[in-house]
Amino acid sequence: MTEDELTEFATRADIGAIRAYRDAVGRRTRDVVEALGAARWAELVGPADAARVPDSFKVFLGQPRAFELGTSAITHNAIHLGEAVTIRGLVGRG
């Protein structure tokens, strides 16, 4: 984004909606992990699993599900945290 685009986004961003989205994703993630069950965490991620994931996500084929779930949860949040910190700094709310 350009600085002008970022400023425009920051002025119209619905913080409540962003937080609600974050909370909904967290709840859904917990639901999926609980439904999967710990017994399946050691299963290896295969092509059928990867086919259910959006193209923009990297899937580690051949890795245990626990590794994939942990990596996805940590890196996904870290990416968004980094984006949020960058946006705050650019709009002067460091």
The model's pLDDT over 28-87, given as tens digits with 9 standing for 90+, comes to: 888 988 898 888 989 999 999 889 888 877 788 999 999 888 887 787 778 778 888 887
Residue 69, domain extent: 3-90
Tell me what pLDDT residue 64 has: 93
Tell me what pLDDT residue 72 has: 78
Where helices occur in 1-94 by DSSP H, the ranges are 3-12, 15-36, 47-51, 65-90
Rounded to a whole number, what is the distance in angstroms from the first to the last CA of the chain? Answer: 18
Q: How many domains is the chain built from?
A: 1
Contact 7, 91 (CB under 8 A): yes
More confident of the two residues 4 and 44: 44
Tell me what pLDDT residue 63 has: 92
